[in-house]
Amino acid sequence: MKIGFDSKKYLEEQSKYILERVNDYDKLYLEFGGKLLFDLHAKRVLPGFDENAKVKLLQKLKDKVEVVICLYSGDIERNKIRGDFGITYDLDTLRLIDDLRASGLDVNSVVITRYEDQPSTNLFINKLKRRDIKVYTHRATKGYPTDVDTIVSDEGYGKNPYIETTKPIVVVTGPGPGSGKLATCLSQLYHEYKRGNLAGYSKFETFPVWNVPLKHPLNIAYEAATVDLKDSNMIDSFHVDAYGDIAVNYNRDIESFPLLKRIIEKITKAESVFKSPTDMGVNRIKFGIIDDEVIKEASKQEIIRRYFKTACEYKKGYCEIDSLERSKLIMEELGLKEEDRKVVRPSREKSIKLRELSENNEIRPAMAIQLHDGSIHTGKTSEVMDAAAAAILNAVKHLANISDEIHLISPVILDPIRSLKTDTLGGHNSSLNCEEILIALSICAATNPMAQVAMEKLQYLKNCQAHSTAMLSLNDEQIFRQLGIDVTSDPEFATESLYYNS
């Protein structure tokens, strides 16, 4: 993989810049946008970016940092899912706490925002409290967004409980957008100033990159990733007016800046030091870019991946048609086609051949995986295994220099597993999925040296590309995530079944 980003250089520049901002205050509330851990979007569009760079940054500052995690109660109630991990936001909050603690960072508390005494939210709060995690609840702010006098009063932010913190940098983060991070920061500022403390606010938002051109594929890839939020990048007119310099921001930040500026000035009783929404940011991503052409190509590929993801979500009923149409427009803006993703055409050609060979012209799903050497390997759905499992086996065979004709897994192993699925457990599909095939491969590895070699090659699938002509089952999606394979799918179901669709 070609590298376009220097993570070490970025970390040095970023930590230095945050410390400079901290020096202006007794306490800095730092709103972290995007993913604090496992920022896979940044990793894909910035080849060389460490997906855990933000946590490593905080580890460099850990003596000065504590973390507050915000979670919107509505996301708990509707079981909102984090797409790149396939888990709900409440579970992602638990994962985030575990991972931050494992990194040696101090998790202060969890704040449930816009709380309305919902039953599922109360269950989650009880779960946290019984594990000795501090929980605060913030209700919707009275007067927001227009009545600044009420917002900045004991009836507004003053209604929220004060979060007791002890360190000079308080990182406020959440599992996703709309978690209430900004409102929590402003509420804390209100309480700090009532206590006579000099506190400040800054925002650490990775994308869009403010000092990269507006129409750069890197910034357009951010729009592709947020079509459901209807985010669009814009020139920060406030920054242009104040400094005469071009800066890129996104619509929500620019639209809310006048109100945010008024609120901060009302809290601090002084003119805001921020002349633009870009001023509020501390992002230094641009300084880690070492090969712009690599970044452009990686960003274009991410835009195509996001298009396929949105198309599949629309097919499943998870998003509206305007999100899909917006995603198509972004593709057209850069002149991109589905086939510009190299694994798309081979998978579709394989599926067409299988259909032509079938007795009743039925659709047969297929998958293609591109390895780091550029070779592409396909797999088909059969009575024994699904296309994703077959493609993985064929890919590791190539890596291990094992002939296609050789069976890595004996039917003696496969047949009892298939019988267990259907005859004993009452399953409707005897084809084995990725997890079942990999377990079978590991069993064979105990006595078959070739299977053992193939097992050892699985690690080399990390960061490879794959495409399926049918949407994957949840199990197969999870296995591909764990293997680190970037997979996309055509928006087609694997079968006609409404429930037994695996």
The fourth-level CATH superfamily of domain 342-489 is Domain of unknown function (DUF1846), C-terminal subdomain (3.40.140.40)
Answer whether residue 500 shows pLDDT above 70. no
**Cβ atoms < 10 Å from Cβ of 388:** 31
What's the pLDDT score for residue 209?
A: 96
Q: How confident is the model at residue 501 (pLDDT cuts 50, 70, 90)?
A: low
Contacts for 214 with CB less than 8 Å, ≥ 6 apart: 233, 234, 235, 246, 248
pLDDT at 233: 96
User: What's the rounded mean pLDDT across residues 122-144?
Assistant: 96
Give kind and range of the element (H or E) at residue 65: strand 65-72
pLDDT-above-70 percentage for the chain: 99
Whole-number pLDDT of residue 189 = 97
Yes or no: say if 83 and 309 are a contact pair by the CB < 8 Å rule.
yes
CB 96 within 8 A of CB 71: no
Taking the C-alpha atoms of residue 250 and residue 152, their distance in angstroms, rounded to an integer, is 26
Distance CA 151, CA 190 (A): 10
Identity of the residue numbered 461: L
Going by the DSSP 8-state scheme, the letter that residue 230 receives in this structure is T
Distance of alpha carbon 197 from alpha carbon 472, whole angstroms: 53
Q: Is the pLDDT of residue 137 over 60?
A: yes
Is the pLDDT at 276 greater than 90, yes or no? yes
- In angstroms, the first-to-last Cα distance of the chain is 33
Closest to 176 in 3D by CA, of 97, 255, 80: 80
- In the chain, what are the domain boundaries? 7-211+239-288, 342-489
Q: Which residues pair with 88 in a beta bridge?
A: 81
User: Mind listing the pLDDT tens digit for each residue in 80-122?
Assistant: 887 667 789 999 999 999 999 999 999 999 999 999 999 999 9
Q: What is the mean pLDDT of the chain?
A: 93
Nearest CA to 77 among 109, 135, 23, 123? 123
21-25, 73-77, 138-142: segment of lowest average pLDDT = 21-25
Per residue in 192-241, pLDDT tens? 999 999 999 999 989 999 999 999 999 999 999 999 888 899 999 999 99
CB 310 within 8 A of CB 323: yes
Q: Tokens for 242?
A: 């104040």
Q: What is the reported pTM?
A: 0.90
DSSP 281: B
CATH topology of domain 7-211+239-288: dip2346 fold like (3.10.630)
